[in-house]
Amino acid sequence: MSEARRFFLQFDFFGGARRSMPPRRRMRCCSVAATQALMAFALTFCVALPAICHRLPHSYYFVRSVYLDVMSRDALRQSLRRGQDALLFWQKAATAATTTTTTTGHPELLVTVVTTRRRREALPYHYLLQVTRQLSGLLGGCGERPCAQVVLCDVESGPDANEDAVLLERHFRVIRRPAGHRLGRPDNTFEREKQDYVFCLRRAFQLALPQNMLVLEDDALPHPDFFGVVKDLLRRRFAARSLYIKLFHPERLQRYWNPEPYRILEWLGLGLLGATLLLQLLSVWNPCRWSLRMSAGHLALLAVYVMAGAELLGRHYLLELRRLSPQLYAVSPATECCTPAMLYPGNASLRVADYLDRAFCFQGNAKDTVLYQVFRDTPGERAHSVEPNLVTHIGAFSSVRPNPAHPKLL
């Protein structure tokens, strides 16, 4: 018998126990390994993770009945404070002698903020003022050469003015519908929202003829690294071939256990990588004398352990680690929901406007669903999503859907 075959037969599949070992001793070793594995799973999933994650909203261990109402009230208070601070900021800025409403032709990036007058319960939060104040601060950090131009698209069609948009007229160019176009608009909220979006896409593009356009809804608050990541995305090869790039996906829908195939592959890869690292660590440092060895069975066991831990902790929190660098942001095929922040490379915004014009929107077939179906059904069209999110959705009160008396975070 060759040396290689003799070496192979000395080890079993699940951890290196010698086949020549007496049956009783081999059974005792397997029993010890199984007991250690059960202890590790029990301590991790029944003690450690519940203690760490019970206050994390996007974890399976989140205790909704205890913390959801309190955290929702805190989030509303913080948003109200930001809104009032933004109102004071823009009121003081309105007294300045200079204005910044001009736009130059062919900017590298045009940010279009779509806004409408909010319902009465949302007015004190001044979502538009929060978003524009954040954009103003981020633009101020771009250096001598501006990283983007900003225009506002006010789609308000009722008798009441959008007071926040009026306040910002001295600082940003504001696009509005001609008076005659406000007549005969559909009663269907979703179709009206789509028509407003199409108007903003076309009018903003005609205004500045940008090289790329980014459309924000007025309750999408940009993260501090917003422009840095967007510029990095536009430099990547895939961007030029994309119909759109989504910059936001609801955190509650970001879990691994999901029908989207790429997330399952990402989950498996994370499990195998984590298991390999754990086995390597145990080979050099094993104070508790775990019986785990570098074998296929133990690798599979630890992969399941890591995958379960990652899913129960919450994929959202692991994605946050990617904020360390713009190059670490993940790009994947586009998801269906939602459209608070959309990047349209080149003149893709005009193609999107044409696609939306051909569709009729209603409940269950809103503009985000239409765009997703276009990307899936049109040969040659590609669309992508970026993770983690580049904006925070701060709109607790919707402008198009019924609002609860006490909005919740989840």
Question: Can you give the pLDDT at residue 185?
Answer: 65
Question: Can you give the pLDDT at residue 29?
Answer: 54
Question: Can you give the pLDDT at residue 314?
Answer: 95
CA–CA dist 359, 370 (Å, integer) = 7
Classify residue 364 by burial, with Cβ atoms within 10 Å: 0-12, 13-18, 19+: exposed
In a domain, 129, yes or no: yes
Question: Can you give the pLDDT at residue 23?
Answer: 61
In a domain, 358, yes or no: yes
| Residue 279 · residue 15 · CB < 8 Å | no
In a domain, 191, yes or no: yes
> What is the reported pTM?
0.88
Q: Closest by alpha carbon to 306, among 285, 277, 280?
A: 277
Question: Can you give the pLDDT at residue 81?
Answer: 97
Question: Can you give the pLDDT at residue 209?
Answer: 95
SS3 content of the chain, % helix, strand, coil (to 5): 50, 10, 35
Question: Can you give the pLDDT at residue 221?
Answer: 97
* Total domain count, the chain: 1
In a domain, 321, yes or no: no
CA–CA dist 385, 104 (Å, integer) = 29
In a domain, 348, yes or no: yes
In a domain, 385, yes or no: no
In a domain, 233, yes or no: yes
Tell me the residue range of the domain where 189 lies: 80-238+339-368
- pLDDT single digits (tens) 205-221: 999 999 999 999 999 99
In a domain, 108, yes or no: yes
Question: Can you give the pLDDT at residue 243?
Answer: 97
CATH of the domain at 97: 3.90.550
Termini Cα distance of the chain: 65
Question: Can you give the pLDDT at residue 182?
Answer: 54
Name the stretches of the chain with pLDDT < 70: 1-33, 96-102, 157-159, 179-185, 288, 291-292
Q: Closest by alpha carbon to 409, among 250, 257, 255?
A: 250
